[in-house]
A and B are shown apart, each in its own frame.
Chain A
Amino acid sequence: MSAIKLDKLPEKVILPLKQHDGIACAPLVKKGEEVIIGQKIGDCEGSDLAYIHSPYCGTVESVVEMPNPSGKRVLSVIINPLECADSVDFIPEKDATPSRLLEIIKEAGIVEYYQKPTYLALKPGKRIDTLIMNATFPLIANAYLDSLDKVLKGFRLMLEAGGISRGAIVIRADDKESIKAFKNAKVDGKPLTVAPIIGKRHADYYFEDSEDEIIVLAGGKITYTPTMMNLLSGDVMGRKIPLGYKPADVHVAVCGVKSAKAVYDAVYEGKPYLENVITVSGAVNRPGSVLVKFGTPIKDVIEACGGYKGEPGKVIINGTRVGVAIYSDESPVAKDTTGIVVQTKDEVLRDVSSACIHCARCVDVCPMNLLPGRIAVMADQGMYEKCGEYYALSCIECGDCAAVCPAKKHLVQLIRFSKLQLLKMCAEAEPAEVTE
């Protein structure tokens, strides 16, 4: 299944100067200036940055605050696009050294699906022995199958750039299309090994037996969303991440399919990160995956999918479990956008939360083995230390507990709030320790 392409130029392109959860860029262009494809329009300094490039050519209409898919208003460059193909000179660099590769990845402004710039994800400053590519979003993985060799080459480049010796690609066990494509794919003329994850047979088990640099693992029916790093590492590598640690602490780095393709484009074609495949599902006439250039307003994406089916009630960015419901379909698609779900007016939930009856459904579904209901009650009463004792900080905010709750409590929000307060308390406590 290949991705739908937008055949019409949008009326207006909105390029947010902050497209991931990091530092916001400063605009490099002014009102009335001409921009061309690939031109850098946002620059920033710091450690957690992603430069912004223009995927369209046209004139800058203004630089103002505009709605963003994250729900907030962000300083954005607004461009009136023109039918032209002028672009900056894309210079491919095929024989770059690892440090130069990392530089190219940074310059291209590539961002991972979990809001981290790729150059930081690959070199977190700790020893990494395995790079996991998360291809468990079937719709997105399928959209890239046409250019699978490019994705694999990009993945190789990422391994090289990070100095990582092994790569594991994780796909869903029920995603037949991807499994077939990976079975037929070749790296350096050798076919890929596609192996299932069963019981204690994790990635290490297969790496021991084979000399391959990259293997493909079909693991269960889980789609590992951005916050599920611990589960991804635990299920694939058998390395669970203790509370307060990051994947890098268990020598694992994670990347996505999109960034692998983007790395290929950046290195072999010299192109910065300009476009992405996102999925559109729910109440639209032709749901599917769409290749979208960043900055394209969501209404144009929906138009390309045949428009709304029925009266739209809610437009959700990044999935129904943890996604953000946006207030305007004028918001653009940004680097951290992976999918759009449209719900009709009737599908919009209007539940009222009531008292907890301790049915323990949240306990039974929690993938992290927590007691969500208990944490939520204590968060509601402001007992944040107690939340910490119940391991609130381990919560990955997957939303499973809130989805099954018969009392319709807003468990995720309450737990998230307690986490924020706990982190704040930690931050306040730390300087005091230093001065002692």
Chain B
Amino acid sequence: MTTFTVSPPPHRRSKISIKTLMWGRVAALVPISLAAIYFFGFAALGNIAASILGAVIIEFAIEKAFKYELTILDGNAVYIGLLLALICPPTLPAWMIFLAAMFAVGIGKHAFGGIGSYVFHPALAAWVFLSLSWAQDMLPGTTPITSSFSDMILETGAGFLGEVSPILVLLTGVALIAMKLVEWRIPVAYFLTTVILAVLLGDPVSYVITGTFLLGVLFFATETVTTPVTKNGRIIYGILCGLLTVLYGYFSGNYVWGTLYALLLSNAIAPYIEVNTLPKPVGGVAHE
């Protein structure tokens, strides 16, 4: 007699897993990383390698020490490490970024409860850690201004690794949305709010649309763990990110830092947005 498997439904599921989502994001960051290595040379390569290595080593160490299941292969640590490297200047010593990546995964991710539980984006938290600890080293050599189309393709004034080619970030990010690996609500709301507000306040758009801003819109702001899950909440979150970015950028004149600080603050407000935008079920609730 043949034996049959008995298991709860559904018996057919979508092939997309956390692994697919994470490695998809890593793959989307590969072109911009290659462009950064081409532009900045070995310094960039060293920083990217040190950052990823730091993130993976600390993840391995923590999971071994606490006897958790090893989750390095799900790509989350690699993704955090790579993202951190992209928002740091190439002149940063490799040991500093190695340490920061350890902070990102060790404190930013695992101290808060691991994947799915962190409040702040680990890479952003590590960026703040670096900025506070070694402010001098974190100062970029130049501030990018994308005044012509060629700046979009190769930005010669790039200060951070991720700023070398805004168009690559834009294309891969939009590809992720088109492939439905990233949801459209937050990036669209964030991008439109920022551009419209900046234009209204009279800031040139070339100041705003830099590689870091696009990384923020397409990768940091769409980090699912630190965003509200409700549909309306996601749009409000996007608008809030845009509002804070312009607020910081307009008064400090630096939209790069403005983006990163705005995202960090929005992360903190995300749960509040979520609990205030709970949807009503179809058909409504009769007694309330």
Contact = CB atoms under 8 A, between A and B. Distances in A.
Interface of A: 71, 230-231, 234, 240-245, 311-316, 320-329, 341, 343, 347-349, 351, 354-360, 363-364, 367-371, 373-374, 390-391, 394, 399, 402-408, 410, 412-413
B12 interface: yes
Contacts of B231: 360, 363-364
A243 B283 contact: yes
B201 to A, nearest CB: 32
Interface of B: 1-14, 16-18, 20-21, 71, 74, 114-117, 183, 224-225, 227, 229-231, 234, 278-287
A323 B9 contact: yes
B72 to A, nearest CB: 13
Nearest to B16: A406
B183 A360 contact: yes
A316 B17 contact: no
A243 B230 contact: no
B10 A357 contact: no
Given A313-B5, A320-B10, A363-B229, A243 B234 contact: no
A368 B281 contact: yes
Given A243-B284, A314-B4, A371-B278, A359 B21 contact: yes
A322 B286 contact: no
Contact of A371 (B21, B225, B279): B279
23 contacts: A230-B283, A243-B284, A243-B286, A313-B4, A314-B5, A316-B9, A320-B9, A320-B11, A320-B12, A326-B4, A328-B1, A343-B11, A348-B7, A355-B117, A356-B116, A360-B224, A360-B234, A363-B230, A363-B231, A390-B278, A394-B281, A410-B8, A413-B8
Contact of B224 (A231, A357, A368): A357
Contacts of A351: 13, 17
Contacts of B8: 410, 412-413
A368 B281 CA distance: 5
A402 B13 contact: yes
Contacts of A320: 9-12
Contacts of B7: 314, 325, 348-349
A378 to B, nearest CB: 13
B77 to A, nearest CB: 14
Contact of A369 (B5, B10, B21, B279): B279
Given A314-B4, A326-B4, A357-B115, A321 B9 contact: yes
Contacts of B281: 243, 368-370, 391, 394
Contact of A407 (B10, B18, B114, B234): B18
A413 B280 CA distance: 22
Contacts of A341: 11
Contacts of A412: 8-10
A321 B14 CA distance: 12
A243 B280 CA distance: 10
Contacts of B286: 242-245
B282 A240 contact: yes
A149 to B, nearest CB: 36
A5 B278 CA distance: 51
Q: Which of A243, A394, A402, A404 has the most CB of B within 10 A?
A: A243
A309 to B, nearest CB: 13
Contacts of A370: 279, 281
B280 to A, nearest CB: 7
Contacts of B20: 406
A371 B114 contact: no
Contact of B229 (A245, A349, A355, A373): A373
A354 B20 CA distance: 14
A254 B283 CA distance: 18
Nearest to A362: B229
Nearest to B281: A394
A331 to B, nearest CB: 10
A316 B7 CA distance: 10
A321 B8 CA distance: 10
Contacts of B279: 369-371
A321 B10 contact: yes
Nearest to B275: A374
* Cβ-closest 10 pairs across A and B: A240-B283, A394-B281, A355-B116, A242-B286, A360-B229, A320-B11, A359-B224, A320-B12, A399-B10, A391-B281
